[in-house]
Amino acid sequence: MDKKIAHAHCDGPCGIYDPASARVAAEAVLSMTKKLAALTVPSTDDAAAYASYSNTFSRYIAIKEEQAQLTKDELLILWTDYFKPKHLADFPNLHETFWNAAKQCSECKLHVEVAPAEKLLDMVKEIHEMFWKSKGRDVPWTTAAG
Amino acid sequence: MNTRYTIVGDSMWPAIPDGAEVVATDDPGAIAAIAVGDVVVAKHPFRKDMVLIKRVAELIDGRYVLHGDAPHGSEDSRALGPFRPDAIVGVVIETQAD
């Protein structure tokens, strides 16, 4: 008997999903938060130093804000496009996990504190494990920052 | 002639999940007898060498309206329109899911 493939696609462009995109963005949030926490405010008497500080501070904040939103966007793609009703049997807390992680992205925007950013990365790790388990693969968690 | 197909995708979940195997026949008599509710294998209208597996939802003017089973969505007649009879390459006669 001939053997072939028959496609049961849900959507034309469906295909490539990987929580690595969310992980890289969440790592950037953590990195910017650490850099912000390490900044020292120069004397306002030194105009050049203060301008340089303000510029650096603003850029770190802008990147943190942008990468936190990117993390949220990447998580929502996994939640709403990749994960299907069938996955709820294996991951009954799937919706709560994603909902909390998406809210954590907003927490990272609100604060300049390392703890919330670390918590976000932990949440992305949990989603990484859920995702690869759903595909029957054992993909180790590796971060760019080591 | 019968052909065994391995299913890629979730649009026929839960009846035919991703990775399941089905056997389809291209017997002209079986194809002529296709009715609403049957699962068929059909040529994609504009993706060369790709065949889809969907369920017959309706017959309109000799054409087949094909829908996936999955509640979360399916690329089927809702986007592609009804399928012409010559697009149907088989009728599923056996399903083997894990």
pTM: 0.71
Give tens-digit pLDDT for B37-90. 999 999 998 888 899 999 999 999 999 999 999 877 788 898 899 999 999 999
Give tens-digit pLDDT for A62-118. 999 999 999 999 999 999 988 988 899 999 999 999 999 999 999 999 999 999 999
A16 and B CB contact within 8 Å: no
Query: Rounded CA gap, A79 and A9, in Å?
Result: 17
**Are B83 and B45 spatial neighbours (Cβ–Cβ below 8 Å)?**
yes
**What confidence score (pLDDT) does residue B96 get?**
86
Q: Kindly indicate whether the ipTM for this predicted assembly is greater than 0.95, answering yes or no.
A: no
Query: Rounded CA gap, B52 and B75, in Å?
Result: 9
**What confidence score (pLDDT) does residue B74 get?**
80
Name which of A2, A4, A10 is nearest B9 (Cβ-Cβ): A10
A20: Cβ contacts below 8 Å, ≥ 6 apart: A128
Chain A's closest residue to B41, CA to CA, is A6
Here the tokens at position A122 are 């932990």
Chain B's closest residue to A11, CA to CA, is B75
Q: Which residues of A touch B14 (CB under 8 A)?
A: 86
Name which of A1, A4, A8 is nearest B11 (Cβ-Cβ): A8
